[in-house]
Amino acid sequence: MPEGDTIFRAARTLDRALQGRTVLRFESVFPHLTRVDHDSPVRGRSVESATARGKHVLIAFSGGLVLRTHMRMKGSWHLYRPGERWQRPGSDMRIVIGTDAFEAVAFSVPVAEFIRSDTLPRNPTLQELGPDLLATDFDPAEAVSRIHARGDMEIADALLDQHALAGIGNVFKSETLFLARVNPFRRVADLPQSAVIEAVDIATKLLRANATGALTGITTYSGLRGLRSGADPAERRWVYGRAGKPCRRCGTLIAMRKQGPFARSTYWCERCQPFDAAGP
């Protein structure tokens, strides 16, 4: 699943390409979108903005209409010049927003809905999101409080809970906890507040660095010289994707285990993140 930094960059790219342009073409395979388009055509409206909220992309059109999409595991937005050949098959197309300069295509996006802008603050899905780590008004104290409220959860699962804080995915979960020296399987209730505060602070810094960085993919480790965007993604990280390889700090082999109700992969160093330690 794309993480918060990826969604942020996608929304920023869409915004730069589409903002202020008039929609000349709108298509979708979703009947609930085409039904709205039939009654209140998207064609002829201008694109006011494209923004990210957690893992959601919000594209606002003139006339008070907003398109919300969530990419889940395999969805993505692409930008093309008019007439340019798509890099994905047409069968993967879910939404097309065409202007005179660019064509935005959503591929394999499973979740999409139109929302009236005046009802956006009351939208159940968005209203339930926790503080967004990439938002300018991010409130770390609120995020820490929400994590502490999930005392029976293991800390790695709590970080993934988008109702606690929005934006962290599976990669940042493991990387954050390694850098905070917190064992991912500790219950939140068993951790001191200082460990949770440290984890939230590290996650915020990682996401923001990756949201504005030049490299594609997630980078948390930069100890290798000549790191390039085409390098093995695992070589840009401390623990994620490095099971069986030596820890960059102590040399212990990195461990991996499935965790949580969705059996997400968790990577950690058993020496740097012992279960009987609570973090910093």
Q: Which residues are catalytic?
A: 2-3, 55
Residues in CB range of 153: below 8 A, 6 or more apart: 161, 187, 188
SS3 47: strand
Question: Beta strands 255-259 and 47-53: pairing type?
Answer: unpaired
Calculate the alpha carbon distances from 177 to 13, 180, 205, 274 in Å: 30, 5, 13, 11
Q: Please calculate the CA angle 216-85-228 and round it to the nearest 5 degrees.
A: 20
- Measured CA distances, 76 to 11, 111, 177 (Å): 11, 11, 27
Q: For the chain, how big is the Rg over CA atoms in Å? A: 20
Q: Are 187 and 151 in contact (CB under 8 A)?
A: yes
Strands (E), the chain: 25-28, 47-53, 56-61, 65-70, 76-80, 93-98, 103-107, 111-116, 255-259, 264-268
14: region left, alpha or beta (phi > 0 left; psi from -120 to 50 alpha): alpha
Single out the residue of 129, 161, 132 nearest to residue 7, CA to CA: 132
- Residue 256 makes CB contacts below 8 A (sequence gap 6+) with 243, 265, 266, 267
Q: Distance (Å, rounded) from C-alpha 47 to C-alpha 52?
A: 15
